[in-house]
Amino acid sequence: MSTVVYLNGQRVDYENAKVSVEDRGFQFGDGLYEVVHIYNGRFFYLDRHLARLQNGAKEIYMDLDFGLNNLEKVCRQAVKESGFNDASVYIQVTRGAAVRQHAFPKESSCTWVVIVRESKGNPQEFYENGITCITVPDERWSRCNIKTVQLLANCIAKEKAKKAGSFEAIFHRGGSVIEGSSSNVFIVKDNKLITHPANNKILNGITRGVVLEIADQNDIKYSEEVFCIDDLFDADEVFLTGTTTEIMPVVKVDGKIIGDGIPGKLTKIIQKYYQEHIQTVDC
């Protein structure tokens, strides 16, 4: 079992996986990415990730010239070759190599990479006891719904959280809570889930969508609406969602205790339903 890398559809050794210095992903951050979770050898919504990749490509006028079906085939082959039961599949697509200029090149071929690594997950105590977060101003561009590789602001926010001894940084803009640096944010108030609307200010996470589907299927009240920092601090419960984050309870933000300071009842219910749902998905 080992990390598997495919570059432009061909398997290569990890050490030999190299791209041009004039690749537009390197020069401009002109690219997209996805991360897909593998549970017990099964893909967790690869189809939804590829659909989001395709939608993002349309938004930035990128032609996925290698074909989504070919990408899916490579992803499945790479997972099989890795031998990992639990893994993450990292997909990155850029507009390819061209002489450096801001305008899109008239002719270029996408650079596309698939990397399969073993997934060891987060410590179980994080899910059982909860984690802490900080808040930071949202200084990103206004098209956060596109999953681009332009993540410097997210990386700075994550580093601030790390230096503060926290798991995640939660962005706010104009007093409104947006999302985490690599996660979506849910609050619970009076047994109702609340999360930011899926507009241009957030990435509409795959796990976020699964949580809303779970809520629908189990008569859990929810709304997609803007809420402020005071609502975050005053929430009965808070949790994060994401491909590698899964359903992560938050017990403290900016040093302020959330609810009773332990993972809440509804958060635990969502965690339970999510773990059950994982066992049924392979697509």
Q: What is the pLDDT of residue 102?
A: 97
The span from the CA of 241 to the CA of 237, in Å, is: 13
Q: Are 32 and 53 in contact (CB under 8 A)?
A: yes
Mean pLDDT of 249-261: 98
What tens digit of pLDDT does each residue of 27-81 get?
A: 999 999 999 999 999 999 999 999 999 999 999 999 999 999 999 999 999 999 9
Q: Which residues are tagged catalytic?
A: 147
Q: What is the pLDDT of residue 203?
A: 98
Q: Are 108 and 97 in contact (CB under 8 A)?
A: yes
Q: What is the pLDDT of residue 13?
A: 96
Q: How confident is the model at residue 88 (pLDDT cuts 50, 70, 90)?
A: very high
Q: Where do the domains of the chain lie?
A: 4-118, 124-278
Average pLDDT for the chain = 97
Burial of 111: CB neighbours in 10 Å, binned 0-12, 13-18, 19+? buried
The domain 4-118 is placed in CATH, from the list 1.25.40.10, 3.40.50.300, 3.40.50.10860, 3.30.470.10, at 3.30.470.10
Is it the case that residue 159 has pLDDT exceeding 90? yes
The span from the CA of 126 to the CA of 250, in Å, is: 9
Q: How confident is the model at residue 127 (pLDDT cuts 50, 70, 90)?
A: very high
Mean pLDDT of 151-160: 98
Which homologous superfamily does the CATH classification assign to the domain defined by 124-278?
D-amino Acid Aminotransferase, subunit A, domain 2 (3.20.10.10)
What tens digit of pLDDT does each residue of 161-214 get?
A: 999 999 999 999 999 999 999 999 999 999 999 999 999 999 999 999 999 999
- What dihedral do alpha carbons 132, 138, 144, 150 form, nearest 10°? -90
Q: How confident is the model at residue 131 (pLDDT cuts 50, 70, 90)?
A: very high
Q: What is the pLDDT of residue 195?
A: 98
- What dihedral do alpha carbons 41, 44, 46, 52 form, nearest 10°? -160
Q: Are 227 and 256 in contact (CB under 8 A)?
A: no
Q: What is the pLDDT of residue 1?
A: 84
Exposure class string for 135-170: b at 16+ Cβ within 10 A, else e: bbebebeeebbbbbbbbebbeebbeebeeeebbbbb
